[in-house]
Structure 1
Amino acid sequence: MNAQNPSIETVNLVRGLIRDVPDWPKPGILFRDITPLIQDPLAFRALIDLFVYRYMRRRLDLIVGIDARGFIFGSALAYALNVGFVPVRKQGKLPSQTVGQSYSLEYGEASVELHADSVKPGQRVLIIDDLVATGGTMLAAIKLLQKLGGNVIEAAAIIDLPELGGSAEIAKTETPFFSICRM
């Protein structure tokens, strides 16, 4: 398996199991549903293995998963790489002292938070989510980790929607970005 360039078979397997749901969560939005992808044991394993091969030599300290679908991939990847997992949650969901960041997304405004003590200065961190659209959530997570002194090695997603500009905005932060498929 080539971690830098996923095989066409893996990309096709992943892409073929992503379901388009029109007009959700509101009219005009085309939601990319990864539920069929994670229900298929072969596809889910291939996806996690691809990320494991990509990051196994990167000396990561933490995987940061973005609420909520990033938790699915981030926790499996953290387990496989034997590193810690940190959740970036929607505002008001964490029980201890937090740091937060507001952002815009394609259908509104939101804020995310993480525990103030979850990342130590200099720790090598990978951020993962299921999809990057406008990039708001991923950019907010990058800013949060930088506030705490984390060294963001890369931001990753299963799906990149380049026409919405998120991956280009991430590139402006000089944070490397990786996705399995562009849709």
Structure 2
Amino acid sequence: MDQLRQSLLDAPIIEKGDYEYFVHPISDGVPMLEPGLLREIVIKIIRKANLENVDKIVTPAAMGIHISTAVSLMTDIPLVVIRKREYGLDGEVSLHQQTGYSEGDMFINDVNEGDRVLVLDDVLSTGGTMKAVLDALDHIGADVVDTVAIIKKAGPNELDDSDHHVKTLINVTVEDGEVVIVDEHGDD
């Protein structure tokens, strides 16, 4: 995880209200995402995630899309994107997510009762988006085989007191305007 680690250490920090936010190619699309960094992350996800009998990869828009697309291409597992726009399709399920800096509704299509899914996202910070997604998948009756976030911002989050477990590739915190690596191997 040398490229991921170094790219996080080099990430600029901005303030969004009281929230210290690192700007990173995986979570924000800027600075430019180098193919080697994406490749390193995808290989690590494939090694860490339980992919046995997974029917679908599920990811929230927008910054999970590029990661999940690459994993889908490498594993031949179809991809479902949880959208921020309602389409009104049969079976569409809405959820409300709230993060440290935003909130809104999202919509799941093409996930059905009994589907075995891998949930992927870019960052686990407050846990607001991930908890809303996992709760909605539970409501649908999908079997969440595994859940992986690339980067975990250490500290309490909404999943701490839940039955949901999220694997991560690297855990960080932001101290005095800089990213600090807490665990370079993440959570299993």
Both structures adopt the same fold (TM-score exceeding 0.5): yes
Q: CA deviation at 1:84?
A: 1.0
- The partner residue of 2:89 within 96, 101, 105 is 96
Aligned match for 1:82, one of 64, 76, 90: 76
Stretches of 4+ aligned residues off by more than 4 angstroms: none
Alignment length (residue pairs): 165
Post-superposition Cα deviations, 1:8-62, rounded to whole Å, max 9, x if no partner, equal xx1x421211323312xx3333222331686222221111011112236522111
Residue aligned with 2:12, SS = strand
- Equivalence for 1:13: 3
Aligned mates of 2:167, 2:32 — CA distance in 1: 19
C-alpha displacement of 1:80: 1.1
| Structure 2 residue ranges without an equivalent (≥5) | 173-188
Partner of 1:137: 129
Q: 3-state SS of the aligned residue for 2:136?
A: helix
2:59 to 56, 65, 90: 65
Cα distance 1:103–1:57, how it changes in 2: closer, same or farther (>3 A)? Answer: closer
Partner of residue 28, structure 1: 18
Say which structure, 1 or 2, has more relative contact order (CA 8 Å, 6+ apart): 2
Corresponding residue for residue 177 of structure 2: none
Contact preservation (8 Å) 1:64, 1:127? yes
Q: Partners in 2 of 1:93 and 1:64 — Cα distance?
A: 17
Task: Summarize deviations over 1:77-136 as a string: whole Å, max 9, x none.
Answer: 12211111111122x354634211113221243222112xx1122221111111011101
Mapping of residues 29-178 of structure 1, within 5 Å: 29-35=19-25, 39-55=33-49, 57-90=51-84, 92-94=85-87, 96-97=89-90, 98-115=92-109, 118-163=110-155, 165-166=156-157, 169-178=158-167
Distance 2:136 2:102 in 1: 20
Other structure's SS at 1:106 match: coil
Contact 2:42-2:70 at 8 Å conserved across structures: yes
Contact 1:153/1:176 (CA < 8 Å) preserved in 2?
A: no
Give 5+ residue unaligned stretches, structure 1: 1-9
What is the percentage of aligned positions where both structures have the same residue?
22
The C-alpha deviation readout for 1:114-166, integer Å capped at 9, x for no partner, is 12xx1122221111111011101001111121121111122211111121x22
* Closer/same/farther in 2, CA of residues 55 and 27 from structure 1, 3 Å limit: closer
RMSD: 2.1
Output the TM-score relative to the length of structure 1.
0.80
